[in-house]
Amino acid sequence: MKKRIVSFLLILVIVCAPVFVITGCSGDEKEVYVEYIPGDVFTVNVHESNRILKCGIVLVLNKEGLEDMLDANRTRIRDRIIFILRDLNEDDVRRTGTQDDLRERIIEELNEMLDIENIVEVIFNDYVMG
C-alpha cells in the first residue's frame, strides 16, 4: 500500500512539474499597469507671474478595474492636480527636479484623497511654460 502511494506521488510530481515550468505557475503574479488620463491638458497660471504652465498628465495604476471610480472622481482629481500645479513659480518650473517632486506629490495626494494606494506613477506628456 505504501509503495502505491509513493509511486503515485512520484508520478504526480513527474507529470506536473513540467506543466508548472512551462506555464510559469510559480506563484508569482505579473504586475499589471493601467494608464489613466484624467482629462485634457492642465493649464494653470504660474504663481506670481503672467505666464502659464501647460501639462499633459497620465496616471499609472497597478490594478485594473479602477477606471469607473476614477471617472466618477475626475473633477476632484483634476482640481487637486490644478491646485498642486498652481503652487509653482517660474523658478520652480525651470528647476531641475521639479517634475520628480510633482510626480511624488501628485501620487501621494491623489492616493490619499481617493483612499487607495494604486496610483504608482505620473507621466508628463507635456510640460511647457508659455
pLDDT band for position 10 (cuts 50, 70, 90): very low
Q: Over the stretch 98-111, which tens digit does the pLDDT of each residue have?
A: 999 999 999 999 99
Query: Which of 16-30, 45-59, 66-80, 103-117 comes out lowest in average pLDDT?
Result: 16-30
Stretch (H or E) spanning 56: strand 52-61
The answer on pLDDT for 12 being more than 50 is no
Q: Over the stretch 30-53, which tens digit does the pLDDT of each residue have?
A: 788 999 999 999 999 999 999 999
What is the Cα 100 distance to its own chain's centre?
Answer: 14
CA distance linking residue 37 with residue 93, whole number of Å? 22
pTM: 0.76
Tell the CATH topology of 34-129: Tetrahydropterin Synthase; Chain A (3.30.479)
